[in-house]
């Protein structure tokens, strides 16, 4: 008995000392992600992968490594709560939009994507993105999570199991062709299929469920298939998901679908209505139910306007942090296709006005990108999104929260991620300029700290050595 307890004491002495690695970041202005006012001359004390203490007067333990971060800013690591690994961001990645399969056949694109997962993961980190939420695709999304778990220099990967669509297989296949033989957009036309889908998510260890409701399905109505009842189908998924402890997030570009999904109990909306202005009832519903809206304004601007006009408003961080070949592909001549940029510009204005109206009314917004979509590079597209939200009139102080804590809430991980607070994972950025003065200063990254490991952006450049 005595021997055991002495052994236990010895063990704890030995291993506390051996394992505890404390680092104190001293003197920065801290913007903690919760929406609280910036704290000057703060200390952030990290032990191993966790934040131990935060404040103006934190006692620094003897032996701790002290990092002087005076005249720097600390913000939480960015969280992109809408990404896909199944697409590369290159011009060749969604042939249904831009068919350049003559130049890069889809099979070749898939091989490229698979070969560049580690590089893609580093691209996120290089841009300050320390967590991502996959919005679904083939089993590759789960493979990427496995790869990320084995890397120190990769973001934490969460997964929304998706994408479901209310359309038959033939239509789903036309949206995104099968990926290595797997359907990426999964047709769901019956309640049983919906329930099976939630069961599959549970078996795979997904973090939430992603569905899609939009005009992809309404073609059924046009065909006269009047029995199609998306509310019944979506309601059954939400109900089944709740039984298993899953939140549901939904892709909805159209106001009435978005409204209907909120009535059914969805936790967050991906994209934002772009077909009509949000009305008072919509705003109240979102606010009362605590629905988080994820506008993805950069998607429309970049993919559907800038790539059509080739007037690409590129940020330096996009060139610096992207896997070689991604940005270059955006300058590829377009295939014969109607220029739809005028329509998208009008929708974009509506979406931006809706984002601002929701912000003004106190609805929670999260910043995320749909990265992987053509024109949206892993990681750096967060800064494209933040620029778009800034141009929509949403203040920088709020955008920092939208890109961190609110994005963690979309994934349901706000107890561990999304803010610089004691007890959470040590995921934060050290910046050389004030992001509240200008949200673009979130690109002035000197260090990225992920689970206590510290990197310079240079150490996180894609290496193309996969």
Structure tokens at 54: 């935060």
Q: Is 370 in the site for Zn ion (CB under 5 A)?
A: yes
Contact stretch for Zn ion (CB under 5 A) within 89-97, 135-143, 352-360, 390-398: 135-143
Torsion sign over Cα 225, 231, 234, 235: negative
The per-residue DSSP string of 209-264 comes to EEEE-SHHHHHHHHTT-TT--HHHHHHHHHHHHHHTT--EEEE--SHHHHHHHHHH
From 151-159, 364-372, 428-436, 450-458, give the range in contact with Zn ion by CB under 5 A: 364-372
Tokens of 413: 């991980």
Report the alpha-carbon distance of residue 403 to residue 182 in Å, rounded. 32
Of 32 and 80, CB closest to Zn ion: 80
Identify which of residues 32 and 370 has a Cβ nearer to Zn ion in the complex. Answer: 370
Which is closer to Zn ion, CB of 141 or CB of 370? Answer: 370
**Binding string, residues 192-211; x marks residues near Zn ion by CB under 5 A:** --------------------
User: Alpha-carbon distance 359 to 366, whole Å?
Assistant: 10
User: DSSP code of 425?
Assistant: B
- Told to check if 347 binds Zn ion by CB under 5 A, we report no
264 contributes a contact to Zn ion by CB under 5 A: no
* Contact call for residue 133 and Zn ion (CB under 5 A): no
C-beta closer to Zn ion: residue 135 or 144: 135
**Contacts with Zn ion: how many residues (CB under 5 A)?**
2
Residue with tokens 């990426």: 184
Nearer to Zn ion (CB atom), residue 135 or residue 220: 135
- Contact predicate 63/19, CB 8 Å: no
For Zn ion, give the closer residue by CB, 23 or 87.
87
Give the number of C-alpha atoms closer than 13 A to the C-alpha of residue 224, restricted to the C-beta side: 0
Q: What is the Cα–Cα distance from 366 to 219, expressed in whole angstroms?
A: 31
Instruction: Report the nearest approach of Zn ion to the CB of residue 83 (Å).
Output: 8
* List 28, 69, 79, 135, residue binding Zn ion (CB under 5 A): 135
Q: Which stretch binds Zn ion (CB under 5 A): 148-156, 209-217, 326-334, 362-370?
A: 362-370
The SS3 call for residue 279 is coil
Output 43 or 371, the one with its CB closest to Zn ion: 371
Alpha-carbon separation of residue 39 from 45, 54, 366 (angstroms): 15, 10, 23
Which window, 30-38, 201-209, 367-375, 427-435, contacts Zn ion (CB under 5 A)?
367-375
Q: Burial code of 14-39, b = ≥16 C-beta within 10 A, e = fewer? A: eeeeeeeebbbbbbbbbbbbeeeebb
45 binds Zn ion, rule: CB under 5 A: no
Of 147-155, 319-327, 365-373, 440-448: span binding Zn ion (CB under 5 A):
365-373
Tell me the closest approach of the beta carbon of residue 210 to Zn ion, in angstroms. 8
- Binding stretches for Zn ion (CB under 5 A): 135, 370
């Amino acid at each position: 008995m005595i021997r055991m307890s002495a052994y236990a004491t010895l063990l704890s002495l030995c291993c506390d000392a051996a394992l505890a690695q404390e680092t104190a970041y001293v003197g920065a202005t801290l913007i903690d992600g919760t929406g609280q006012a910036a704290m000057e001359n703060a200390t952030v004390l990290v032990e191993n992968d966790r934040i131990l203490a935060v404040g103006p007067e934190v006692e620094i333990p003897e032996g701790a490594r002290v990092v002087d971060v005076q005249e720097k800013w600390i913000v939480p690591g960015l969280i992109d709560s809408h990404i896909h690994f199944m697409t590369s961001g290159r011009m060749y990645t969604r042939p249904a939009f831009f068919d350049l399969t003559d130049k890069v056949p889809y099979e070749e694109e898939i091989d490229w994507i698979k070969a560049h997962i580690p590089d893609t993961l580093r691209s996120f980190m290089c841009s300050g993105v320390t967590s991502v939420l996959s919005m679904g695709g083939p089993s590759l999304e789960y493979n990427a999570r496995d790869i990320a778990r084995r890397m120190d220099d990769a973001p934490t990967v969460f997964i929304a199991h998706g994408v479901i669509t209310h359309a038959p297989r033939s239509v789903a296949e036309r949206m995104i062709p099968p990926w290595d033989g797997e359907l990426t957009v999964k047709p769901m036309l019956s309640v049983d299929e919906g329930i099976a889908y939630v069961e599959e998510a549970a078996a795979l260890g997904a973090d939430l469920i992603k569905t899609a409701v939009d005009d992809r399905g309404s073609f059924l109505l046009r065909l006269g298939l009047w029995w199609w009842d998306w509310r019944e189908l979506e309601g059954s998924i939400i109900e089944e998901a709740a039984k298993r402890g899953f939140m549901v997030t939904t892709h909805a570009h159209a106001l009435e679908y978005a409204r209907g999904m909120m009535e059914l109990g969805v936790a967050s909306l991906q994209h934002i209505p772009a077909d009509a202005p949000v009305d008072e009832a919509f705003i109240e519903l979102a606010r009362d139910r605590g629905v988080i809206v994820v506008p993805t304004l950069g998607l429309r601007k970049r993919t559907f306007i800038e790539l059509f006009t080739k007037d690409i408003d590129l940020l330096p961080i996009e060139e610096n942090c992207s896997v070689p070949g991604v940005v270059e592909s955006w300058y590829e001549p377009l295939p014969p296709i109607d220029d739809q940029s005028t329509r998208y510009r009008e929708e974009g204005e509506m979406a931006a006005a809706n984002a601002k109206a929701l912000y003004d009314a106190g609805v929670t917004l999260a910043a995320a990108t749909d990265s992987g979509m053509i024109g949206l590079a892993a990681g750096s597209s967060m800064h494209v999104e933040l620029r778009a939200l800034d141009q929509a009139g949403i203040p920088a102080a709020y955008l920092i929260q939208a890109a961190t804590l609110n994005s963690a809430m979309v994934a349901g991980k706000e107890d561990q991620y999304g803010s610089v607070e004691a007890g959470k994972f040590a995921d934060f950025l050290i910046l050389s300029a004030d992001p509240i003065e200008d949200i673009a200063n979130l690109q002035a990254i000197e260090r990225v700290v992920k689970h206590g490991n510290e990197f310079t952006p240079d150490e996180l450049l894609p290496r193309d050595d996969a």
